[in-house]
Structure 1
Amino acid sequence: MRYRKEHKQATRQRIIEAAGRRFKRDGIDSSGITTLMKDAGLTNGAFYTHFTSKDELVATAVADQLQTQNANIVAQAAPGRAGLEQIVRWYLSAQHRDSPDEGCPSAALLDEIRRCADPTKQAYTDGVLVVIDGIAARLEPDDPLSVRTKALSAYAMMAGTLQLARALADRQLADELLEQGIHNALALLGVEHQHPGALN
């Protein structure tokens, strides 16, 4: 019985992770249950064993993607200002720009999340605040709540910069935009940076 429960949880997680990647690559509305289940290596019939609706899967996948971003990027960054620079430089990297299905759900899905039902918006809000609080804790360790809105504003600027860089046909211009975005985000966060290639 225990194996069956663990197997079901592992299968559910496989669906969530595959759906998160597909949503970021193709969009929520463009990703049907058949495609999502095929990505997870399962049949359509198995979907309702794990989820009551596509909306439930969307909310769960969005939350999972933000948890993964927090665990793999924000939580791994150094404490203090050095960590802020690591986070900003990862976020506005050419690699992140070129790998939307492996990257930030905010940059890939914000416009669609805006149109989702309240449970998905709440899952997004809860997840993004974990990321933001990790940034705020590096910005102001003694009182992170006092800089939460500033951290959220910097995150919004980075997400918009990444979206625009992904949309530009001119790769050199997109690269320059990312570099300027790094400069802008670090300036907003009050981080001094003197790395080669950074704009002054």
Structure 2
Amino acid sequence: MVRYTKEHKQETRQRIIATAGRRIKRNGIDGSGVATLMKDAGLTNGAFYAHFASKDELVDTAITDQLRTLHTNVVEQADPGPAGLEQVVRWYLSPDHRDNPVDGCPNAALLDEIARSGDTTRQAYTDGVLVVIDGLAARMTPEDPLASRVKALSLLGLMAGTLQLARALTDRQLSDDLLEQGLHNALALVNRKPES
């Protein structure tokens, strides 16, 4: 029997998490069975339980990982302040993001399923999305990010809802128009001065 190093086991676990995150964004949580997830990772079903106690544990971990990836690859890479926030909004509400859900934000791909999931999945989502929200809020009001947390959450909701609807439409021009209007609305929210 071959014994693997700790590093190999951790690399394998991360490969399972990353491939599961992409698959559940494509097919949904319920549309992604353990056999399919493990096949995507190039592993057997039997290897699954060496890394996770259940599919729910993997889903929770994958959602957290996808939100961390969104934060690291999009939010953290954006410029500081309002210019960076505009970069994030323009990426989020782009035709490229609409057309590539597997490589995009887990919010637009999974919110409806997460809302119907159990407490652990919803908590994993909440914890992960707060990291993204705090990154957006820090660009809204760098001097007091917590003051903009709810506004940042509202912005994410506007963007995710617009993207979900744009993905659902069969009329490409209508979908493009919706993205453009969503971009206009999101930027108006971003640039709106706080009420005194």
Using structure 1 for the length normalisation, give the TM-score. Answer: 0.93
1:198 aligns with none
Tell me the equivalent position of 2:96.
95
1:160-197 CA deviation, whole Å, 9 max, x = no partner? 000000001011111111111111011111169xxxxx
Output aligned runs, 1:50-61, within 5 Å.
50-61=51-62
Task: Count the aligned residue pairs.
Answer: 191
Q: Where does residue 196 of structure 1 map in the other structure?
A: none
2:156 matches 1:174: no
Aligned equivalent of 1:27: 28
CA distance in 1, matches of 2:5, 2:113: 35
1:110 correspondence with 2:111: yes
What is the root-mean-square deviation in Å for CA atoms of aligned residues?
1.3
Q: Which amino acid aligns with 2:122?
A: K
Q: 5 Å matches for 1:77-156?
A: 77-156=78-157
* Structure 1 pair 74–166 and aligned structure 2 pair: CA distance change class (3 A): same
What are structure 1's unaligned runs of at least 5 residues?
193-200
SS at match of 1:50: coil
Look up the match of 1:163.
164
What per-residue deviation string (whole Å, max 9, x for no partner) do you get for residues 129-185 of structure 1?
Answer: 111111100000011101100110010010000000000101111111111111101
- CA distance in 1 between counterparts of 2:67 and 2:115 reads 16
Counterpart of 2:65 in structure 1 is 64
Q: Secondary structure at the match of 1:73?
A: helix
1:3 CA displacement: 6.4
State the shift of 1:118 in Å: 1.1
Superposed structure 1 runs of 4+ greater than 3 Å apart:
none
- Structure 2: gaps (5+ residues): none
Partner SS, residue 29 of structure 2: coil
Q: Which amino acid aligns with 1:141?
A: P
User: Structure 2 counterpart of 1:125, which letter?
Assistant: T
Q: Percent identity?
A: 72
Listed one character per residue, the Cα deviations across residues 80-134 of structure 1 (whole Å, up to 9, x for unaligned) are 1100110000000000000011111010000111111111111110111111111
SS at match of 1:49: coil
CA distance in 1 between counterparts of 2:93 and 2:187 reads 11
